């Protein structure tokens, strides 16, 4: 797995419409789920109570919060693409995000990304990226959608 390095708006535009790659797998642990629950105050038993989840959940285990899996997106994205020469990067939009499959504790997930488009907004790159979070050994992805990042490049 090699990381694509992009250093300018012009280089970014060259990759529009292309598959960019896939990240490494990341295993979601119960500790990570519990920390996310604490950060978001979402302690629903299906996420945090392993005994009850084993007995009552259709998944027979705790599951990661959907938003935890979305929050991993920047971390996994940086394993696919490194954008250099930036003043700033901004998460701008998530559109048509669909949660397709629960991610059970200790599952490994990875991100697949395709750069749909790049728009030049007075020197700011508005990128639309099709994403899919794959679960190792599971046919259906955890989620699919389109995210938009804004990249403010340094003057060249």
Handedness of CA 131, 73, 138, 49 (dihedral sign): negative
pLDDT tier at 156, thresholds 50, 70, 90:
low
Task: Give pLDDT, residue 41.
Answer: 98
37-87 tens-digit pLDDT: 999 999 999 999 999 999 999 999 999 999 999 999 999 999 999 999 999
CB atoms within 10 A of CB 133: 24
Q: Which residues contact 103 (CB under 8 A, 6 or more apart)?
A: 28, 63, 64, 69, 109, 133, 135, 142
Cα torsion for 74, 78, 84, 90, to the nearest 10°? -10
155 phi and psi, to 5 degrees?
Answer: -65, 140
Burial zone of 31 (CB within 10 Å; 0-12 exposed, 13-18 middle, 19+ buried): exposed
Task: Give pLDDT, residue 1.
Answer: 66
pLDDT tier at 155, thresholds 50, 70, 90:
confident
pTM given for the model: 0.93
How many Å apart are CA 74 and CA 111, to the nearest integer?
A: 10
């Amino acid at each position: 797995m090699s990381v694509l390095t992009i250093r300018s708006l012009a280089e970014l535009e060259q990759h529009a419409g292309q598959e960019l790659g896939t990240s490494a797998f990341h295993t979601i642990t119960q500790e990570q789920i519990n920390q996310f629950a604490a950060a978001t105050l979402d302690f629903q038993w299906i996420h945090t109570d392993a005994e009850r989840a084993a007995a009552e959940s259709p998944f027979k285990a705790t599951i990661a919060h959907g938003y935890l899996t979305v929050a991993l997106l920047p971390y996994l994205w940086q394993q696919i693409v490194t954008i250099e020469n930036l003043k700033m990067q901004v998460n701008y939009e998530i559109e048509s995000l669909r949660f397709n499959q629960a991610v059970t504790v200790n599952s490994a997930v990875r991100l697949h990304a395709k750069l749909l488009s790049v728009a030049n907004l007075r020197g700011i790159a508005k990128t639309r990226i099709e994403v899919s979070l794959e679960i190792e050994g599971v046919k259906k992805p955890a989620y699919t959608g389109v995210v938009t990042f804004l990249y403010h490049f340094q003057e060249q």
